[in-house]
Chain A
Amino acid sequence: MQVRMEGLTKHFGATRAVQDFTVTLASGELVCLLGPSGCGKSTVLNMLSGIVPVTAGKIYFDEEDVTNLPPEQRGIGLVFQNYALYPHMTVMGNITFPLEIQKVPPREREARAREMADLVHMGGLLARKPRQLSGGQQQRVAIARALVKNPRLLLLDEPLSNLDARLRLEMREEIRRIQQETRVTTIFVTHDQEEAMSISDHIVLMKDGFLQQHAAPQELYNQPANQFVADFLGNPPINNFEGSISGGCFVMADGARVCLPGFAALKEGQEVRLAVRAESFVLAEGPAGDRLACRVDSVYQMGKEEMAVLTFGGTPLRAYIPSEEGLKPGDQVHLGLKDRGVFLFDSHTGERYL
Chain B
Amino acid sequence: MSGHPAPRAPFRPRRAGPRRVLVHIALFFLLGAISLGLGLQGRALLVGHAAQLEGSLLVDTLLEGAAQRLRGALVGEDSPQALARAVDTGISSRKRLLKVEIARQVQEDQPNQDIARMALDTLAQGVLARAGEEDRPALQALYEAQAPVLATGLGEAADQLERGFSLARVRLNLAVGVPNYPLMYYYTPLLALGAFLLLFAAALAYTYWRGDEEKRAAVGQRLEPMDYLLPFFMGVIAFTLFPMVRVVIMSFQERYRLDGSFAGWGLGNYEHVLQGVPGTTNYFLQGLSNTLLYVLFTVPLATALAIVIAYLLNQRLRFSALFQTGYFLPMVTSVTAVGLVWRWIFNRNFGVLNAILGWFGLAPVNWLHAASNSMTVLVIFGVWSSLPFTIILLLSGLQNIDETYYTVARVDGARAPRIFRRITVPLLAPTISLVLIINSISAFKVFTEVKVLFSGYAGPALNMYTMVYYIYDMMYEYRELGRAAAAAIVLFVFILAFTMMQRWIQRRWQYE
Contacts and interface: CB of A to CB of B under 8 A. Distances in A.
Contacts of A129: 511
B450 to A, nearest CB: 39
Interface stretch (A81-89, A191-199, A230-238): A81-89
A46 to B, nearest CB: 9
Given A71-B411, A72-B412, A86 B429 contact: no
Contacts of B429: 88
B427 A72 contact: no
Interface in A84-98: 84, 86-88, 97-98
B404 interface: yes
Interface string A57-87: 0000000000000011100101010101011
A50 B411 CA distance: 8
A101 B418 contact: yes
A86 B405 contact: yes
A80 B408 contact: yes
Given A88-B429, A88-B511, A129-B511, A82 B402 contact: yes
A300 B414 CA distance: 56
B interface, size bucket: 10 to 19
A71 B410 CA distance: 7
Contacts of B404: 80, 82, 84
B426 interface: yes
A131 B409 CA distance: 19
Contacts, number: 56
A212 interface: no
A102 B511 contact: no
A87 B426 CA distance: 9
A98 B412 contact: yes
Contacts of B418: 101
Contacts of B149: none
A101 B414 contact: yes
Given A80-B404, A101-B418, A129-B511, A88 B426 contact: yes
Majority DSSP secondary structure for residues of B touching A: helix
A51 interface: yes
B413 A72 contact: yes
B312 interface: no
Contact of B407 (A73, A84, A102): A84
Contacts of A88: 426-427, 429, 511
A98 B408 CA distance: 9
Contacts of A73: 413
Nearest to A87: B511
Contacts of A87: 427, 511-512
Contacts of B405: 84, 86
A84 B413 contact: no
A9 interface: no
Given A101-B418, A129-B511, A84 B412 contact: no
B323 to A, nearest CB: 25
B461 interface: no
B423 interface: yes
Contacts of A101: 409, 412-414, 418
A78 B411 contact: yes
Nearest to A103: B413
B413 A102 contact: yes
A227 to B, nearest CB: 36
Contacts of A43: none
Contacts of A50: 411
Contacts of A71: 410-411, 413
Given A86-B423, A88-B426, A101-B418, A78 B413 contact: no
A149 interface: yes
A49 interface: yes
Interface string B419-441: 00011001101000000000000
A112 to B, nearest CB: 14
A51 B407 contact: yes
Contacts of B511: 87-88, 129
A324 B407 CA distance: 57
The winner among B404, B411, B427 for most chain A CB atoms within 10 A is B411
Nearest to A142: B408
A129 B404 CA distance: 18
A149 B427 contact: no
7 cross-chain pairs, A with B, having the tightest CB-CB distances, nearest first: A72-B413, A88-B511, A84-B404, A98-B412, A88-B426, A71-B411, A78-B411
5 contacts: A50-B411, A78-B411, A88-B427, A98-B412, A101-B413
Given A78-B411, A82-B402, A84-B408, 5 more contacts: A49-B411, A72-B410, A72-B411, A72-B412, A98-B413
